[in-house]
Amino acid sequence: MSSPSGLVQPELVQERDRVLGWQVDEFGAKRPLDSRPRLTSALWRDHVLIGLGLLIVSCVVGFGLDLGNLAAQVLACWALMACLHVSLAITAGWVSRVPGVTTATRRVWAAVSFAGVAYVVGDAVQLVMIATGPMSLQVALGGTAQSLSVLVGTAGLVMVMLISPIGLGRRRERTRFWLDVSIVMAAATTFGAYVYVPADSSKFLDVLLSILVGPGLFLVGMFAVVKLVLSPAPPFSRLAGLTLASAAALEGLVQASSKLMIDNGQAAWVLGATVIASVLLTGSSRIQKLQVRADPNVLHPRVRHRFSTLPYAAIAATYLLLVWVLAKVGLNAHAWIVVAGAITSTALVVGRQLVAFTDNTRLLDEVDAKVQELNQSLRERDLLATKLRHEAFHDPLTGLANRSMFNNRLQDALSGVGPATGHLTLMIVDLDDFKQVNDRYGHAAGDEVLVVTARRLRNCVREVDLVARLGGDEFAVLHEDLPDEAAQIAERIVEAVAQPFTVSAATASVTASVGVVVARGERRTSEQLMYAADTAMYAAKHSGKRGYRIV
């Protein structure tokens, strides 16, 4: 039942937002829901993936235990392959048409869909041959038409993967990337060559044909998968890519060991493993479809990790194979394939490390340069901060402390004055008749008088005493823990200021009136002390100038 006036009920709005992938916080703001829990749940609950998993279990049981006769096994194998490849073509085609994906992603999944179509054609021809012709091992494992369709579909997929951009712009990044790919491919070539090359063949043509016909297409496909896995902009998600790589690895293993299994009467295993590889291939496209449906950003370029363990795992596997071969058969002519692969992989790793060392040296040089720049910037900052601090608390003309610094210092000094300890003396110094100097000789001469006065005041007190210019022709002097010498210092200041000044090629004279206040343990504020000293200074000025008054 709808709400009045056509308004949408709140619970319906919440359900709509949940379906659309949004959640609303307590302030009414919408934000995207985390897609990972929903995606994991979707994968575990997907009926197609559950069916594919059950199919893998059925293949392991049925073909592994060799249930039924060869004709039933062959018919089941190729019927399942046809259904799987139809699903592969449809699902991969859907992924390739998702809006917003990159061109490279669209091309790769379109190529997967094309490969599925090619595989379906071969499966159909194979089923016709099984239904109309006599059963033989060659027919059971795939005829010429079926092999040709696999070759066409796989070649198209591999070609698209090979030309797919790797998403790296800088030359050093591309160099490291291709070295990593080369290390993995050297290991894959070593395994493939050792398995496919006949150990008892002494003819060069036989060896060459074994390499081209056996591991050739598999290695090219492995190269394409490794290239895209290591690339920062792969056309598939991590889970879909791993499933796709597993399908390629299993198919390569089947091709490598098919002759051995057939010779040992395990042709059913070849059929079952082939179906499982197709299940994994179809599963990768289904996983990718579910992930794209749950989170369209899953196919966006990701940040590439600085360090990949895949090349080092590949060389470790090569050396494990070398140890196994040497322990089993010794260093014969066939074992030299693994030795050559190990040497090649080692050389590539050494080259990779040299490139890394060069990059590290360059980066360290850049870091040193940046550190030096940073240190220089810090020194300049410290100098600027010191300059600003000095300007903030000092008078620009005389270099003495300004009113702000004097007030801070006076507050700190008063905190140490108590009823039983500490005392301080504050003096206010004001120049008498200073205006006449400015009027007669100019303001520049007046500034000279102020500078000289500041110097004379400093010479009249101790190093620890603070002399400040409060403004205009008014100065202040702060003495902490000074013995009873306030009168002598005030007299010294009056006499020093009264000395003639040489300004602008002339002689000028000014005098000083000094107000002195001594705090001997009584509690008074800085304002009270300043007021008392200022009052004493004006009393000295009204008494005839050129003198001092102590209160």
**What CATH number is associated with residue 470?**
3.30.70.270
Query: Per the domain annotation, does 378 fall within a domain?
Result: no
Query: Per the domain annotation, does 432 fall within a domain?
Result: yes
The tally of domains found in the chain comes to 3
pLDDT of residue 148: 82
Query: Per the domain annotation, does 374 fall within a domain?
Result: no
Query: Per the domain annotation, does 449 fall within a domain?
Result: yes
The rounded distance, in Å, linking the Cα atoms of 394 and 459 is: 18
Question: CB–CB of 511/545 below 8 Å?
Answer: yes
pLDDT of residue 450: 94
pLDDT of residue 219: 53
pLDDT of residue 32: 47
The rounded distance, in Å, linking the Cα atoms of 428 and 201 is: 112
pLDDT of residue 26: 44
The rounded distance, in Å, linking the Cα atoms of 86 and 83 is: 5
DSSP state of 543: T
CA pseudo-torsion sign 15, 20, 21, 23: negative
Of 338, 252, 246, the residue nearest 284 (C-alpha): 246
The rounded distance, in Å, linking the Cα atoms of 490 and 427 is: 8
Task: List beta partners, residue 122.
Answer: none
pLDDT of residue 211: 46
Of 412, 430, 421, the residue nearest 519 (C-alpha): 421
The rounded distance, in Å, linking the Cα atoms of 321 and 316 is: 9
Query: Per the domain annotation, does 172 fall within a domain?
Result: no
The rounded distance, in Å, linking the Cα atoms of 247 and 222 is: 11
Question: CB–CB of 95/291 below 8 Å?
Answer: no
Query: Per the domain annotation, does 209 fall within a domain?
Result: no
Domain ranges, residue 28: 1-33
Query: Per the domain annotation, does 17 fall within a domain?
Result: yes
Q: Please check whether residues 423 and 485 belong to one and the same domain.
A: yes
Would you give per-residue pLDDT tens digits along the chain (551 residues)?
A: 334 444 444 554 454 444 444 444 444 444 444 445 556 666 778 888 899 999 999 999 998 888 888 888 888 888 998 999 999 999 989 888 887 777 778 888 898 899 899 989 988 988 888 888 777 766 677 777 777 887 788 778 777 776 666 666 567 766 777 677 777 777 767 766 666 555 555 554 444 444 444 444 455 556 556 665 666 667 777 788 778 878 877 876 776 667 667 777 788 888 888 899 899 989 988 888 888 877 766 665 555 555 566 677 777 878 888 888 888 878 877 788 788 888 888 888 888 778 778 878 888 888 999 999 999 999 999 999 988 888 889 999 999 999 999 999 998 888 877 655 667 899 999 999 899 998 888 888 999 999 999 999 999 999 999 999 999 999 999 998 776 788 999 999 999 999 998 887 788 889 999 999 988 777 788 899 999 999 999 999 999 889 999 98
Q: Please check whether residues 276 and 420 belong to one and the same domain.
A: no
Q: Please check whether residues 488 and 524 belong to one and the same domain.
A: yes
Question: CB–CB of 549/540 below 8 Å?
Answer: yes
| Residue 428: partners with Cβ closer than 8 Å, 6 or more residues away | 470, 474, 475, 476, 514, 515, 530, 533, 534, 536, 537
Q: Please check whether residues 18 and 73 belong to one and the same domain.
A: no
Q: Please check whether residues 255 and 139 belong to one and the same domain.
A: yes
- What is the length of the chain? 551
| Residue 434: partners with Cβ closer than 8 Å, 6 or more residues away | 446, 449, 472, 473, 510
pLDDT of residue 156: 80
Q: Please check whether residues 262 and 154 belong to one and the same domain.
A: yes
The rounded distance, in Å, linking the Cα atoms of 88 and 109 is: 10
Q: Please check whether residues 408 and 510 belong to one and the same domain.
A: yes
Query: Per the structure block, which two tokens stand in for 433?
Result: 């008749």
Ranges of beta strands (E only) in 166-304 are none
User: Within a 10 A sphere around the Cβ of 283, how many other Cβ atoms?
Assistant: 26
Q: Please check whether residues 104 and 15 belong to one and the same domain.
A: no
Name the amino acid, one letter, at 469: R
pLDDT of residue 306: 55
Q: Please check whether residues 408 and 474 belong to one and the same domain.
A: yes
pLDDT of residue 85: 92
Query: Per the domain annotation, does 444 fall within a domain?
Result: yes
| Residue 11: partners with Cβ closer than 8 Å, 6 or more residues away | none
Q: Please check whether residues 9 and 107 belong to one and the same domain.
A: no
